[in-house]
Amino acid sequence: MTSLAHRIRRSAAIAVSLAAGSTLALTGTATAHSGNPCGSAASSAPVAKGLYQTAHSERNHVLWATSSVGEPPVTNSSLVKLDPHTLKAEAVYRPPVTNPETGAVEAVYGIAVDDEHNTVWTTNTRDNSVAVYSQRTGKRLASLPGVNHAREVVVDEKHNLAWASSFGDGSVVAFDTRTYKEKKRVTLAGSSPAGMAVDERTGTAYATDFANDRIIEITPLATSPRLIPTGDGPLSIALSKDGRTAYSADQAAGTVSVINLRKGAVTKTVPTGAGAKSVATDPRSGRILVANRTTATVTVVDPRKGTVVDSLTTGANTNHVHVAHGAAFVAAKSGSGPEGQDLLHRFPLGH
């Protein structure tokens, strides 16, 4: 396969994976079982059609989720505030309408929490922008254009920056979280930035380059980014607690790559399942969790040994995994709720 054909295939795959959510209708939680110790006492709840990503606020003790559904014009999208223990909705906020004639809204997809400034950042993929919402009121505070096919956003609270991946034009963009002004833009021709992570101790930002099987590393003082190889089709990235190791969910390969950032090399490759889409780190155990969309599982991996230690069953179309306070929150686009909603699972994690 030529490199151009490879890029087209991947671009089509990620475009499909970005199609998301609709109307919110949350009922009570239901017990979910994984059949293994890691997932014991798991619970799940129907949240919305097109459930996309989640992020946890320690400041407010809540879980935030995004949902959007369908092709443009997207008319149903929600920013949802949830109790992280019961998974019940505490509030639902609708993005503003952008086109009164069609009813299209500024649909939300990726999400990150900024507890320092009590805000939530979202990527508005269809509108080529990112937005900022108040955690206190749910009001949209700003909409920041110029992020082409924005996919993910991550906040560096220590350095007052929000980093977003501009998949459509090969850029990684940083915004000031106090003024919402653009502070930095790094563009690599032919790249497709997707997943985002940041090391707050150093201020270094990382983006997976989905098209070119690499990580884009942006340090505060460097004049150009460092490029680090990874697995086939890296869509998501997470960092170890000490910031020395990166983990990429390699969608095309169905693996997770363990990358030594100092050496700039993959040290282990662990098969997790077809459609590896999202990766998160459990800071307590050091284990990593990979959401596998096609196999409808979350794989728990010991990165030091390079072995799979658990597999959690989530239902169809596992989309995103997020770890907070000893639990993994997993969004699955199964459509298996009583009104066709997608499910959010909560899996307690062992030490």
SS3 of 323-347: the string is: EECCEEEEEECCCCCCCCCEEEEEE
User: Starting at the edge strand that comes first in sequence, how are the strands of the sheet with 182-187 ordered?
Assistant: 150-156, 161-166, 171-176, 182-187
More confident residue, 39 or 120: 120
pLDDT band at 224 (very low <50, low <70, confident <90, very high): very high
More confident residue, 222 or 125: 125
For residue 73, whether the previous peptide bond is cis, meaning omega lies within 30 degrees of 0, is yes
Query: Are 126 and 117 in contact, with CB atoms under 8 Å apart?
Result: no
pLDDT tens across 31-53, in order?
Answer: 343 444 444 479 999 999 999 99
Alpha helices in the chain (DSSP H): 3-18
d(CA 192, CA 145): 18
pLDDT band at 351 (very low <50, low <70, confident <90, very high): low
Note the pTM of the prediction, 2 decimals: 0.90
Query: Residues 269-297: what's their mean pLDDT?
Result: 97
Query: Residues 189-197: what's their mean pLDDT?
Result: 98
> How confident is the model at residue 41, as a pLDDT?
73
Task: Out of 22-26, 139-143, 213-217, pick the least confident.
Answer: 22-26
> How confident is the model at residue 17, as a pLDDT?
46
Query: Residues 308-314: what's their mean pLDDT?
Result: 95
